Amino acid sequence: MAKNGEPENVTVNLISQGTEIKGDISSTGDIRIDGTLIGTLSTRGKVVIGPTGKINGEITCKSSEISGYVEGKISVAEILNLKASSKIMGDIETVKLSIEPGAIFTGKCKMTDDNGKAGTEKGDKS
């Protein structure tokens, strides 16, 4: 059920294998990429990058599951799942992170709480 008067999000967008898009994508729905995107991707929904999917650019989304290749910054509001076949070359910012054995991740990772604040170490009084 939709919250705060927003319409329910039932849209699923698909960029299939063999398709290449150069440009920015903005959506309110879920997106699955099995092709190639060169540009930024921003959605209030879930992003799924299949094993053949490739993104060269920035991703901003609610949640994401990645099995393919991403070169660029990834910002996820809830949970990011990196599957064993994924290869990430860039920085990650998320609340929750799951990495399967075999996944490749080269970059920095910033874990935040639900309010966007960075986590603190034990004994840190900030």
Q: Which domain holds residue 56?
A: 12-111
Predicted confidence (pLDDT) at residue 79 exceeds the cutoff of 70: yes
Residue 122 located in a structural domain: no
pTM: 0.83
Q: What is the pLDDT of residues 92-105, one digit of tens each?
A: 999 999 999 999 99
Residue 53 located in a structural domain: yes
Which residue bears the tokens 């990650």? 92
pLDDT value of residue 12: 85
Angle at 106 between CA 110 and CA 88, to 5 degrees: 90
Per the structure, how many domains does the chain have? 1
Residue 44 located in a structural domain: yes
Residue 7 located in a structural domain: no
Which residues pair with residue 106 across a beta bridge?
Answer: 89
Q: What is the pLDDT of residues 9-62, one digit of tens each?
A: 567 899 999 999 999 999 999 999 999 999 999 999 999 999 999 999 999 999
59, 72 Cβ separation under 8 angstroms: yes
